[in-house]
Amino acid sequence: MKILITTCGVGIGHSSRDLALANYLKKYGHNIEFASYGSGLKYLQKYNFKTYSLPKMNFEGHDGEINIEESIKQSKDIPFTFIKSMYKESRIIKKSKPNVIICDSHYSMPIIAKFLNIPCYIITNDLTFGFSKSTQMKSIKYFEKSIRRFIIEITKSCKKIMIPDIPGVIEIPEELKNKTEFIGPLLHYNANELGTKHEIRQKYNINDEDKILVVTIGGSEFGKIMIKNICDISKSIEADKIIIFTGLEVETSSFDDYDSKVIIYEFTHNLVEWMKLSDLTITLAGHTTSMELLSIKQPNIMMPILNHIEQERNSKRMEKTGITQVVEINNTEKLLEIINDSLKNINTIKINDELYSKFLLYDGKKNALNTIQNNIKQIKQI
């Protein structure tokens, strides 16, 4: 079966989880192609799948903060970009000729899929938005209500909305509950497939006794300030090595004033391994990263992008696991205190066993495959 996955390209979290799903679907004989833009497209192009380019969409902001008001002001071109994207997507469909379309937080493709009578599935971990909470502007609150209503109407036409998480952590609008399935996280590795911390350290020639801090900002330029702040305090961090991954939107050459124990890379195919070999991981609060950290029970510090409501929700949810502490992205004094305290007491940081046991019950890749294949069988029988 030919499957086209259309992925939100803001950051690489969507692309990363979709890649995990694509590799799994491929093992079962399905032919996968991708369409995306921005960081997501750059990420996917590093792997062995055919990719198509879509018109770019993005947020406005700087220094670890999304500027909602400026983003909305700049959104005057969104209707044109949306239509342009639909036109491009229709041409991609003609080339790709998919039997099924999967859309990850990308809402123009379902319209085209409906017109062309192609079964379409949506992957999303956010159906309520909430970006207007950071502003008092009535026009923005009205804009959000309109967008939410529009998205609900679009998703009603899809075969299924697949939530890459466990039940009870994401609010589902009443109108979409009969369309929604919690499939569980889409991870590159199941917990039992990764080696031990010792084995992974041997693989990368890192001593067991070294205190290792790993820092990642995924694919977002909003995390650049986080790396800068960590470089500024690096001399005072009580670690033997600080290994930083800047992602695909931030140049490693942007940073030139840091302690000799800091090592900066742009990209790795095996970020989960690096997180597991570390004693402590520092990250933004993206959903995919949250799921990965939870799966490997990795002690971590999360710094959600300011005014990014989804990341704020993710970080609050992760605090309940027992392995996460949350710090504001520009609070370097508090960050340094928590890093050193965590490294000193790392063996006392334990995950909430009840929550983790529930988490392990869900295999997102397997459930997504079953959902799609079962639905296709039903269509063929009609």
Give one DSSP letter per residue of 325-368, joined into a string: EE--TT-HHHHHHHHHHHHHTGGG----HHHHHHHHT--HHHHH
Distance, CA of 349 to CA of 347 (rounded, Å): 6
Is the sign of the CA dihedral 137, 139, 145, 151 positive or negative?
Answer: negative
Distance, CA of 208 to CA of 234 (rounded, Å): 21
**Res. 375: pLDDT tops 90:** no
In this predicted model, what pLDDT tens digit does every residue of 252-263 receive, in sequence order? 988 988 999 999
Mean of the per-residue pLDDT values for the chain? 88
Output 373 or 316, whichever has higher pLDDT: 316
**Res. 65: pLDDT tops 60:** no
Residue 64's pLDDT band, with cuts at 50, 70 and 90, is: low
Where do we find the tokens 């209500």?
145
Give first-to-last CA distance, the chain, whole Å: 18
Strand order in the sheet with 241-245: 262-265, 241-245, 212-216, 280-283, 300-302, 324-326
Q: Are 102 and 367 in contact (CB under 8 A)?
A: no
pLDDT of residue 59: 54
pLDDT of residue 257: 81
**Res. 141: pLDDT tops 70:** no
Q: Quick one: average pLDDT of 147-176?
A: 88
In this predicted model, what pLDDT tens digit does every residue of 250-306 receive, in sequence order? 889 889 889 999 999 998 999 999 999 999 999 999 999 999 999 999 999 999 998
